[in-house]
């Protein structure tokens, strides 16, 4: 089986969007391969992926279900190791980072929006959003609270701060997951279908929020989406395609 | 972080409550097992109250000889005492480490009944033969010949239980019918006569004199305890046996050393003790496994949470600290409940054991429970934290 990576290099930029991307690479993937091995089957989820993402870029990734988008994102997000290949973050291969340094990078640099949200059911919405700041030295309780409120406000959930995830709709949970990624004010946001569960109006709003972050704060964003329209609003669209095999 | 910890514990109160209950129960089982084990150890470490080295026990059977038994015995004791190498001889109704005992609760002081009390009828030389440690008053002697009451010496335990802070010396005990009286002339420190693991039970020594004709029945065998010079050997033993034959003209006699008897008795009490120890060990392992299972399951349920925290920037150590912290709080609550229950035992005097035994057992059970829960909290969270976050995140 073969995964193909098609890069559409010259996409027209959305009208009026200032060019925030630089030519300074933050993420660089070289010959990344990911093979999932189970008892019965071997799945090649990523097959020799080469990809460079520059600082301040807003990239979207599209492709059919099961083609390895989430896998790619979790490797970029330092949540999983590739079977082979090299990932460089700010020019340094991540294999050389210690466990502590990796934790630091995940905490300070990267904000991850998971496809399946991953909220802690035993914590309130507010506590969930505060979580990344909890692992950051030098951020006091008051500041944590304020930044969590601000992030929840941005996704329109300030009225739900004391709810628990089980008391929220799917779309609301998704927005909590987005707020959690925003609260840490990361340099890089990795969003796995962040609007997948939202109605079109809400999806638009989140999209605008991300665009705003990208343009005003220079946040580098990699977003997986199934929405062509949204994808076209970003600076670069990468298409992932699973060649032959479906497991 | 501390606040976060308490928020988490509070929000998970239902499952934490179950954990707490499990910990409380485990603590309690460990406590009861500990009490049994600690009690034996505690007894073992207490003073015996006497020395059994260089003491020989002669069991003398007069057989059909009913004439002048008392007189013969009196002469025998004198002859033995006069033998070189013999330090002291006493005529006693019972000996330490024997397999039979004689006890009663017939004594009373004013309105107060005595506890179950071990009784030894002995003569004036018992104190010398066994090296008893008299801590108040004196041992009985010829000065008591004229007494109209029985003369007795009690051990400190008896004195404490009967008179508390008051001095026992001079007190007069009676029985239910008020037709006999016992005057206390002295107190000995302890008398753990049962075995190395026996407790220091309330004991009284009642004076009997060979002059007193009332106290040797026709069926009674005579038991003599003889303290010999250190290093005395078989030669002296032969000599003493020959002397017994000569003086008594054919009474039967056999000899043991108290040291041997002590060993025999130890062997005898060790068997149930080892069984108890094994049952205790089995219970501890059982509780440990139960606790381990519950805690392990609890933390395994939270693998996704661990993955998420790792993804958001928690280090492996931060994860371990969090789970350790949570378990510490829950365990403390569970143990506190258990201690509240356990402390009722000494307060209500359920088993009637020495108070330090309960507290040592509480300490032991507490240490065991905390160690177990710490391992149970650390081990699974360590393992989970070492997995790639993406992998543990999938465990939902
Ligand atoms: N833990 C795993 N073990 C085995 N196979 C896996 C595992 N995780 C993913 N895969 C396989 O890897 C391939 C890529 O999965 P991935 O989740 O990256 O797809 P995706 O592009 O994100 O799909 P979707 O759009 O449905 O989210 C799939 O074929 C999937 O079955
Ligand atoms: Mg996916």
Taking only the tens place, the pLDDT of each residue in B282-300 is 988 888 888 888 888 888 8
End-to-end CA distance of chain B: 25
- Write the pLDDT tens digit of every residue in A139-188: 999 999 999 999 999 999 999 999 999 999 999 999 999 999 999 999 99
Query: What does the alpha-carbon distance between residue A83 and residue B22 come to, in Å, rounded to a whole number?
Result: 43
Query: What does the alpha-carbon distance between residue A26 and residue A89 come to, in Å, rounded to a whole number?
Result: 6
B4·A136 Cβ contact <8 A:
no
Count helices and strands (H / E) in chain B. 12, 13
How confident is the model at residue B226, as a pLDDT? 94
- Give the residue numbers spanning the domain of A234: 20-97+187-194+220-247
Contact B28, B209 (CB under 8 A): no
pTM of the model: 0.80
Q: What is the ipTM of this complex?
A: 0.89
CATH of the domain at A61: 3.40.50.300
Query: What does the alpha-carbon distance between residue B73 and residue B237 come to, in Å, rounded to a whole number?
Result: 18
- Write the pLDDT tens digit of every residue in B94-124: 999 998 888 899 999 988 899 999 999 998 9
The protein residue with its alpha carbon nearest to ligand 1, atom 29, reads A66
Cα radius of gyration (chain A): 18
Asked if pLDDT for residue B36 goes beyond 80, the answer is yes
Q: Would you tell me how many other CB atoms lie within 10 Å of the CB of residue B116?
A: 9
B308·A120 Cβ contact <8 A:
yes
B313·A135 Cβ contact <8 A:
yes
Q: Which two tokens stand for residue B23?
A: 């910990």
- Write the pLDDT tens digit of every residue in B178-234: 888 999 999 999 999 999 999 999 999 999 866 555 455 555 678 899 999 998 788
List CB contacts (< 8 A) between B390 and chain A: 74, 79-80
The number of distinct structural domains making up chain A is 1
List CB contacts (< 8 A) between A95 and chain B: none
> Residue A14 domain-assigned?
no
Closest CA to A70 of A242, A247, A192, A197: A192
How confident is the model at residue A4, as a pLDDT? 44
Asked if pLDDT for residue B49 goes beyond 90, the answer is yes
Interface contact B350, partner A, CB < 8 A: no
Nearest CA in chain A to B10: A122
* Pocket-forming residues, ligand 1, beta carbon under 6 Å: A 36, 38, 43, 45, 63, 65-71, 115, 247; B 394
Interface contact A112, partner B, CB < 8 A: yes
Q: Angle at Cα A129 formed by Cα B321 and Cα A209, nearest 5°? A: 145
Interface contact A134, partner B, CB < 8 A: yes
Q: Would you tell me how many other CB atoms lie within 10 Å of the CB of residue A18?
A: 9
Contact B366, B59 (CB under 8 A): no
The number of the ligand nearest the C-alpha atom of A74 reads 1
pLDDT tier, A17 (very low <50, low <70, confident <90, very high otherwise): very low
Looking from the CA of residue B391, the nearest atom of ligand 1 is: 1
Ordered DSSP codes for chain A: --EEEEEE--PPPPTT------S-EEEEEEEEEEEEE-SS-EEEEEEEEEEEEETT-EEEEE--TTSSHHHHHHHHTTSS--SEEEEEETTEEGGGS-HHHHHHHHHHTEEEE-TT----TTS-HHHHHHHHHHTSTT--HHHHHHHHHHHHHHTT-GGGTT--GGGS-HHHHHHHHHHHHHHT--SEEEEESTTTTS-HHHHHHHHHHHHHIIIII--EEEEE-S-HHHHHHSSEEEEEEE-S---
Please count the residue pairs, one from chain A and one from chain B, whose beta carbons lie less than 8 angstroms apart: 73
- Write the pLDDT tens digit of every residue in B296-328: 888 888 889 999 999 999 998 999 999 999 999
> Residue A204 domain-assigned?
no
pLDDT tier, B66 (very low <50, low <70, confident <90, very high otherwise): low
List CB contacts (< 8 A) between A142 and chain B: none
How confident is the model at residue B376, as a pLDDT? 84
> Residue A157 domain-assigned?
no
> Residue A75 domain-assigned?
yes
């Amino acid at each position: 089986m073969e995964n193909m990576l098609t890069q559409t290099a010259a996409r027209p930029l959305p009208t009026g969007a200032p060019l925030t991307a630089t030519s300074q690479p933050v993420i660089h993937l070289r010959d990344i391969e990911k093979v999932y091995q189970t008892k019965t089957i071997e799945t090649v989820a990523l097959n020799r992926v080469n990809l460079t993402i520059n600082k301040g870029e807003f990239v979207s990734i599209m492709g059919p279900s099961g083609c390895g988008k989430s896998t790619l994102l979790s490797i970029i997000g330092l949540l999983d190791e590739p079977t082979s290949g090299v990932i460089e973050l700010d020019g340094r291969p991540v294999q050389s980072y210690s466990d502590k340094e990796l934790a630091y990078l995940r905490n300070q640099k990267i904000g991850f929006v998971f496809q399946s949200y991953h909220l802690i059911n035993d914590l309130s919405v507010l506590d969930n959003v505060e979580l990344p700041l909890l692992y950051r030295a030098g951020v006091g309780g008051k500041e944590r609270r304020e930044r969590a409120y601000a992030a929840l406000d941005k996704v329109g959930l300030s009225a739900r701060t004391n709810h628990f995830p089980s008391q929220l709709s799917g779309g609301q949970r998704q927005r909590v997951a987005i707020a959690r990624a925003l609260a840490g004010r990361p340099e890089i946001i990795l969003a796995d279908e962040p609007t997948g569960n939202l109605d079109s109006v809400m999806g638009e709003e989140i999209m605008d929020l991300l665009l705003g972050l990208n343009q005003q704060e220079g946040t580098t964003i990699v977003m997986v989406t199934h929405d062509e329209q949204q994808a076209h609003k970003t600076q670069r669209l990468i298409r992932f395609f699973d060649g032959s095999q479906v497991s | 972080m501390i606040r976060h910890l308490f928020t988490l514990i509070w929000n998970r109160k239902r499952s934490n409550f179950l954990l707490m209950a499990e910990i409380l129960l485990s603590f309690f089982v460990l406590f009861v097992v500990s009490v049994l084990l600690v009690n034996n150890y505690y007894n073992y470490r207490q003073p015996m109250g006497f020395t059994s080295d260089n003491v020989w026990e002669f069991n003398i059977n007069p057989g059909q000889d009913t004439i002048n038994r008392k007189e013969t015995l009196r002469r025998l004791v004198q002859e033995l005492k006069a033998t070189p190498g013999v330090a002291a001889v006493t005529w006693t109704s019972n000996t330490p480490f024997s397999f039979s005992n004689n006890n009663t609760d017939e004594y009373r002081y004013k309105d107060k009944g005595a506890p179950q009390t071990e009784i030894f009828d002995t003569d004036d030389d018992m104190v010398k033969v066994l090296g008893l440690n008299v801590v108040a008053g004196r041992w009985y002697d010829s000065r008591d010949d004229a007494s109209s009451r029985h003369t007795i010496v009690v051990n400190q335990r008896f004195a404490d239980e009967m008179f508390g802070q008051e001095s026992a010396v001079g007190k007069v005990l009676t029985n239910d019918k008020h037709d006999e009286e016992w005057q206390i002339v002295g107190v000995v420190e302890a008398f753990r006569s049962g075995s190395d693991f026996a407790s220091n039970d309330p004991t009284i020594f009642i004076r009997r004199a060979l002059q007193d004709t009332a106290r040797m029945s026709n069926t009674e065998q005579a038991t003599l305890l003889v303290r010999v010079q250190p290093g005395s050997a078989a030669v002296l033993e032969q000599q003493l046996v020959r002397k017994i034959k000569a003086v008594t003209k054919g009474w039967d006699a056999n000899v043991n050393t108290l040291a041997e008897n002590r060993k025999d008795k130890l062997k005898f009490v060790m068997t149930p003790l080892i069984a108890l120890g094994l049952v205790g060990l089995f219970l501890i392992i059982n509780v440990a496994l139960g606790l381990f299972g519950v805690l392990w399951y609890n933390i395994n349920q939270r693998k996704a949470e661990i993955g998420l925290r790792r993804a958001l920037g928690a280090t492996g150590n931060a994860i371990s600290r969090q789970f350790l912290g949570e378990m510490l709080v829950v365990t403390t609550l569970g143990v506190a409940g258990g201690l509240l229950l356990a402390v009722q035992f000494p307060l209500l005097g359920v088993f009637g054991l020495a108070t330090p035994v309960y507290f040592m057992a509480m300490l032991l059970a507490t240490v065991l429970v905390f160690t177990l829960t710490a391992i149970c909290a650390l081990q699974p969270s360590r393992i989970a934290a070492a997995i790639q976050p993406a992998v543990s995140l999938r465990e939902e």
